[in-house]
Amino acid sequence: MDAVTDKKTLESVEEMAPKPSREEAEEAVRTLLRWAGDNPKREGLLETPKRVVKAYEEWFRGYGEDPTQILGKRFEDVQGYEDMVMLTHIDVESHCEHHMAPILGTACVAYLPDRAVVGISKIAKVVEAFSKRLQTQETMTAQIADAIEEAMSPRGMAIFVDAKHQCMTTRGVHHPNVSTITTSFTGEFKANPELRQRFMSLCEQSKR
């Protein structure tokens, strides 16, 4: 799904299901607390609905962010620089769309500029914009790649995401040490095995 399609999908969802009020969201939390077997009126839980709704605003703020706009400003004065631009250790804090459990990990992103570069913080912000939504890791990886491709038209880009899914570590099969790795390569990174291996080696070195 590219950035444009993703935006249209979000707009369609908003048209079909108007966003509930804060009061409705807080009442939904009280319902879940009762369903879990606790009393939302006891002292320790009185403020919990407000705290949960506030946390949701932070965890899912990506729905209100436009990755294309984030990458809109580019710089062409790069003195002929043509090698990869790479960011490592970008924190990934997301939630799986199946259980709404946290996905925690890191991402490495690189691109080969074609006459222009973008501020390095913008790359990290694009990762955040897509991760701060209900996701599968595979979809998130593809969305980040599509957004960078569409906004910058680089000669190639690469992304590597390494994350642990709490829906797997704290429930279900209970395997706390299992990581999920997803990658995406375009352009010269996809066509050139040596360039791709260089990127992967730099990703591994950054973990040490």
* Of 135, 137, 149, 203, catalytic: 137
* Of 93, 150, 166, 167, catalytic: 167
Whether residues 41 and 71 share a domain: the answer is no
Q: How far apart are the first and last CA of the chain?
A: 33
Whether residues 70 and 90 share a domain: the answer is yes
DSSP letter for each residue of 119-182: -HHHHHHHHHHHHSSEE-HHHHHHHHHHHHHHHH--SEEEEEEEEEEHHHHSSTT--TT--EEE
To the query of whether residue 135 is one of the catalytic residues in this protein, the response is no
Q: Domain limits at 190? A: 62-206
For residue 203, the model assigns a pLDDT of: 92
Q: Which residue has the higher pLDDT, 2 or 15?
A: 15
CA-CA distances (angstroms) from residue 8 to 66, 102, 128? Answer: 11, 26, 19
* Amino acid identity at 54: K
For residue 1, the model assigns a pLDDT of: 46
Helix axes 137-152, 3-16, angle to 10 degrees: 120
User: What is the distance between the alpha carbons of residues 74 and 85, in angstroms, rounded to a whole number?
Assistant: 14
Whether residues 67 and 158 share a domain: the answer is yes
Q: What is the pTM of this model?
A: 0.86
Which tens digits make up the pLDDT trace of 88-114?
Answer: 999 999 999 999 999 999 999 999 998
Whether residues 24 and 66 share a domain: the answer is no
CATH number at residue 109: 3.30.1130.10
* Of 14, 82, 97, 138, catalytic: 97
SS (H, E, C) 150-167: HHHCCCEEEEEEEEEEHH
Tally of structural domains, the chain: 2
Q: Whose CA is closest to 145, among 165, 161, 121? A: 161
To the query of whether residue 99 is one of the catalytic residues in this protein, the response is yes
Q: Is the pLDDT at 9 greater than 80, yes or no?
A: no
